[in-house]
Amino acid sequence: MEDAHARHLLLHSQHLSWGVQALAHLAAASLKRDVYGVVQKDLPAIIKTLVQLKSALERLPLHSHKRTMRPGTLEIRMKAALTSAVKRSLYILCNAFGPYLSDLPLSEDLRQVLGNYILYKEG
């Protein structure tokens, strides 16, 4: 049942992918355009949510006992596309806010994950 639910979500993940990237671009643009800092106050929550989504995608199993998953199936491609969108969004945020990330109230685990993005070690 979980596998079917995961497949359904992945097959409809294009909108999530667009939303994740749009959110990252809006947050990055806010650094120059948001004079009141409305978006910056939510930046820790945005970063935490993106890292949690990335972790959930990495843990997501795409196999079933009833049918075998071939490497080119749509679910696997959609998972890869969504994972890439999340990673790209984290890179966008780290590039824009890199000098200010140490000022954000983030957990040590999040700082460690973001450190890989700042140093371009995340693949």
pLDDT in tens, 90-115: 999 999 999 999 999 999 999 999 99
Tracing tokens 């998972």 back to the chain, one arrives at 79
- pLDDT confidence of residue 46: 97
Read off the pTM: 0.85
Residue 3 above 80 pLDDT? no
- pLDDT confidence of residue 121: 82
* Residue partners of 26: CB distance under 8 A and separation at least 6: 39
Can you say whether the dihedral through the CA atoms of 100, 104, 110, 111 is positive or negative? positive
Q: Are 74 and 11 in contact (CB under 8 A)?
A: yes
pLDDT single digits (tens) 31-53: 999 999 899 899 999 999 999 99
* Residue partners of 115: CB distance under 8 A and separation at least 6: none
Could you tell me the pLDDT band of residue 76, with boundaries at 50, 70 and 90?
confident
How many residues are present in the chain?
123
At 4 the three-state DSSP class reads helix
